[in-house]
Amino acid sequence: MYEAPVVGEAGAVVLDALAVQEELRLVIPFEAKSGANVDAKQARKYAALTIRDVARSHTLPFRDGTMMPVFGFLAEHEERVRLGLSEAEIEPACLVIGPSKVSLDVPPGTPLGGFEVDVDGPPPGIVTIDADSSHEELQEVLLPQVVAAAARGEDGTTLATLLQSAVPTFQFTGRRARNQMLKKAFKALAAASKRDLADLFVVEPGGREIDVGIVRILRSPASFKPQGETQGWQAVRRRATKALRGKAPDQPSRQLTFEDLARAADSGENED
């Protein structure tokens, strides 16, 4: 789960990710660091969490086990992050991501072993859209989903359905973060529908039974006569590109997949 809220003895904290390894009876609260600074108070909240704390808010397949907080950060910030963790007087596992190597260092007594693997590309981007993403970023992933729904001849769909299709991690995200994404998605698509794609779809608030917002398809080129359908889709494509300000999604070259990383870690070929 992503953006998972938990309340522990040291206070409430929203975990960037929460993973469970059932065979090892292991619970992993994960903090992803984009920079070099460590919030000591937040770090101590991670370290103080117990299985019982997590179980109060999230379903676990076991009642007792081991907690192993993990802090993930870029290799270029390693020295400062480790210093910050030391000053906070905690010793979590550390996932260090570099341009040519990824390593996991674990403290003594944890059931999960560490690893070190050589890599030939940047780490995979899994959570590319989240509650902090801009309206423009949401438009970029949601407009193609709206056009796809129109192509299928659908009369409409919900914002939640569009987000689930465009953002694979949406359904595994905490409720508060999901609601933030839904609100942003409503504003992002409403702006596009009023500006460049007004005759294709409209965004409406949900009612008593559906409270997540509705995208209603007004007119689809799929319903045009054969001689006009191609031109209709070309026009939709042009206007969708205009709505996105002509921006195409960035595709990092030679980006690794998690399957690549997992195979490298399992093979042991890159271990010292």
Q: What are the tokens at 63?
A: 């009642």
Q: How far apart are CA 169 and CA 132, in angstroms?
A: 14
Q: Which residues have C-beta within 8 Å of that of residue 242, sequence separation ≥ 6?
A: 196
What pLDDT is stored for residue 73 in this prediction?
94
Sign of the C-alpha dihedral computed for residues 240, 242, 248 and 249 taken in this order: negative
Sign of the C-alpha dihedral computed for residues 71, 75, 77 and 81 taken in this order: positive
Block mean pLDDT (10 aa), the chain, length 272 = 91 94 94 92 94 92 92 95 95 93 91 88 74 88 85 86 91 90 91 78 77 78 48 54 50 44 51 44
Q: How far apart are the first and last CA of the chain?
A: 32
